[in-house]
Amino acid sequence: MMKKLIITIIISLVAVSGFAQPEPSKQQQRNQRYQQIQSAKIAFFTSEIQLTPKEAEDFWPVYNQYWREREVLMRRTQGAMKSIIKTLSGEEKRGDAELKMILESYISNNTDEGAIQRAYFERFLKILSVEKVARLYKAEEEFRMKMIHQLRGVGPKSESK
């Protein structure tokens, strides 16, 4: 009887301590989610590309820099597109000259994206075989699609139904 009472008390304390924990902030939740995605990405890429330990050691710092550069460009491109959308919806007033500059920025960002792809393609070839570089690009696309399906709450197979 005493044993059951102690177990009940321990379970109650664990349950109550779970409720006593402060709710993580939105930023903490985003950071945790980002870390989970990054960990999943590393595992997925390492497996799909079939990286050896030495290749992984050389590859990941280069890939992380590549991703940071692309991310900065994607944010600029998204910002330009948001400005275009706000202008077209009438939310923000811009003249033709200003809208043209935003469009040129949007196009320039896409050109810069190509330059980054070209530069890092050469760097990746110094670390990986051509086949593994091809696997990298395939893995990037597959991982992107996997994330889109998860965000939509749709399994990859159920989309064709």
Say how many domains are in the chain. Answer: 1
Q: Please state, in angstroms and rounded to a whole number, the distance separating the CA atoms of residues 128 and 143.
A: 19
Identity at 142, one-letter amino acid code:
E
Q: State the residue range of the domain holding 116.
A: 56-145
**pLDDT (tens digit per residue) in 86-143:** 999 999 999 999 999 999 999 999 899 999 999 999 999 999 999 999 999 999 999 9
Nearby residues of 102 by Cβ (< 8 Å), 6 or more positions away: 80, 83, 84, 87, 94
- The answer to whether 81 touches 106, Cβ cutoff 8 Å, is yes
Give pTM, 2 decimals: 0.71
**pLDDT (tens digit per residue) in 13-71:** 555 555 555 667 888 888 888 888 888 899 999 999 999 999 999 999 999 999 999 99
Q: 13 lies in a domain?
A: no
Here the tokens at position 41 are 């990405």
